[in-house]
Structure 1
Amino acid sequence: MDFLQMFVLALIQGITEFLPVSSSGHLILPAQLLGWSDQGLAFDVAVHIGTLAAVIGYFRNDIFRIAIDWLGSLVGKGSTFNSRLGWYLIFATIPAVAFGFALKAIGLDEVMRTIGVIAGTTLIFGALLGWADLKGRRIQPLEKLTFRQAMIIGFAQAIALIPGTSRSGITMTAGLMLGLTREAAARFSFLLSIPVILGAGSLLTLDLIKDTAPVDWSVLVGGALVAAVSAWICIHYFLAFINRIGLMPFVIYRFCLGAVLLWVMLG
């Protein structure tokens, strides 16, 4: 992997990990259009570490308060919004974990990584995102989130294991359908990404330990840094402008991306 390939793929991963536009849909295009080979397991681990560092760094104060109050709830210090949010994040992660292991056990996790599947899910779930943004009441703050709502969003996140769905896109769609404000849906989506990215990165790391392929550390470190910086910038500006611009620009973008993927598939 040369510098250009490393930079482009890490940048794509960092930006699309948290935007509702499907990272798998973007990562498949360079290989198809430019003839690039698969980036490899080690690089996947590196960019996952980068995006994880970005989201933890950005929400470090929130994470600290959630962790303190959650630990306090374990020793009888009472329930607070942050302690409940900690429990919500834990339980809402379970559906994605269970679904992920099920897909891997029956061998469907790789089978679904085709341009046809990614194009279809990019278009279908893009339309759902647009419908939710237009029809959602968008009145409920994150502080009013209930356990039932958190679990519905958690089950929606499990669907994102189908390539092209977009983890952030489907969780924001579910949040908006439940009446959350755009900012509340986005913040819960980003916080919910932390255990999922941590789990996925851990599994990839275990696979990497078993792998005997040589490792280019300069590429891995560079990829992790590019992914971390681009992801942090993405989170910051997305939260800053989401209430102003809404989600329709991303819906239109998904339609365009889906059309390009169909063109590549049929061409």
Structure 2
Amino acid sequence: MGHLTYLEAIVVGAFQGVTELFPVSSLGHSVLIPALVGGHWARDLNVSAPESPYLAFIVGLHVATAAALLLFFWRDWVRILAGFARSVRHRRVRDPFERLAWLIIIATIPVGVAGLALEHLFRTTLGRPTPAAAFLIANGVILYTGERLRRRTPAAPAGRRNVEPAAVAATTGNPVPTRAPAPTQTGQARSAEPTADSGDAADIRLARLPVGRATTIGAAQILALLPGISRSGVTMVAGLLRGLSHEDAARFSFLLATPVILAAGLLKIPDLFGPLGAGIHAQVLAGSLASFASAYLAVRYLTRYFQTRTLTPFAIYSLLVGAGSLIYLTLR
């Protein structure tokens, strides 16, 4: 694979960064794009081959995507890691960030175990274009069904709601500003209310999740081992069905994904610097830069998007692209 072109590297890298965070499956797109383009793309970019250099390339893209998530949520991770350190040092779990740290750890254990046991099997047996297209259709069904069921699920205590500024300030040491009184239709001002959408307030809401509920949401990531099933999509659906708002479900999904994506990349770093990565280091760097930039822009967009919108457009996209790809691959 020494002839992997820079165009292939940049295009696949950009798609990886976006589709890893958009609920449309990065692995599914990594399989489908080369197959749909055909030619040397299909030969160069074969994820199902047991010793494919493409896997070494994808390692770099995963690390870059995780780095973008760490950069975007760096304040959150500073608080979470500091909470974890306090918890270990004092052997207790008292404040929200100590609890959130342990929730993330516990919730990522199921996918960590499943990934080590099943990743190679799923990738080599199912990491082909036709199964990937079928699973992308299934991804659309999951997202759409989750939205439909969400409408019937009452909001749980950890759902989106205001958090008292005093509680946030007591935990973080930072005052939370309140919204300025907004004029009503009659010109009279409403009373000020706390801003509930700050990172501190959102993390405190997530820290209130029961352990079992958080673990269930994290375990949903196991489905993303199937090419075409989105990690962020299934964890968001699991969060929505457990009473989280779209905004909090997306945030928890990104926080859960960061250590998983980073660990998956770091675990296979030796492949990148071994025989599989020989001759493609420059292309890996180009693709990783594209992946980092697109992932950062994607998470920045999605954290705002899910404040007011739903998974339905991504469900429609998955259904249409999956069905179109399946028909094309079957008839060609």
Per the shorter chain, which TM-score range? over 0.9
1:116 Cα deviation from its structure 2 partner? 3.0
Aligned equivalents of 1:212 and 1:102: distance in 2? 22
Check the 8 A contact 2:35/2:129 in 1, yes or no: no
Does residue 1:233 correspond to 2:248, yes or no? Answer: no
- Quote the sequence identity (%): 36
Aligned equivalents of 2:67 and 2:119: distance in 1? 26
Q: Counterpart of 2:309?
A: 245
Q: Residue 255 of structure 2 is aligned with which of 191, 214, 234?
A: 191
| 1:72-108 CA-partner distances (Å, limit 9, x unpaired) | 1112264111111111111111111111222157x34
Does residue 1:4 correspond to 2:68, yes or no? Answer: no
Q: Residue 98 of structure 1 is aligned with which of 113, 119, 140?
A: 113
Check the 8 A contact 1:138/1:176 in 2, yes or no: no
Gaps of 5+ in 1: none
Q: Counterpart of 1:261?
A: 325
Map of 1:6-25 to 2, 5 A cutoff?
A: 6-25=9-28
1:34 Cα deviation from its structure 2 partner? 2.0
Aligned equivalents of 1:247 and 1:86: distance in 2? 27
1:212 Cα deviation from its structure 2 partner? 5.5
Gaps of 5+ in 2: 46-52, 161-205
Map of 1:21-32 to 2, 5 A cutoff?
A: 21-32=24-35
Structure 1 counterpart of 2:54, which letter? G
Residues 259 and 194 of structure 1, relative CA distance in 2, 3 Å threshold = same
Aligned equivalents of 1:212 and 1:255: distance in 2? 34
Aligned equivalents of 1:240 and 1:232: distance in 2? 13
Aligned equivalents of 1:244 and 1:72: distance in 2? 35
Check the 8 A contact 2:32/2:132 in 1, yes or no: no
Give the TM-score taking structure 1 as reference length: 0.93
Check the 8 A contact 1:25/1:164 in 2, yes or no: yes
Residues 220 and 210 of structure 1, relative CA distance in 2, 3 Å threshold = closer
Equivalenced residue count is 266
Deviates most, 74-83 or 160-169: 74-83
Does residue 1:34 correspond to 2:37, yes or no? Answer: yes
| 1:152-181 CA-partner distances (Å, limit 9, x unpaired) | 012111121111111111111101111100
1:218 Cα deviation from its structure 2 partner? 2.6
Q: Residue 133 of structure 2 is aligned with which of 102, 112, 119?
A: 119
1:22 Cα deviation from its structure 2 partner? 1.1
Check the 8 A contact 2:246/2:309 in 1, yes or no: no
Check the 8 A contact 2:239/2:249 in 1, yes or no: yes
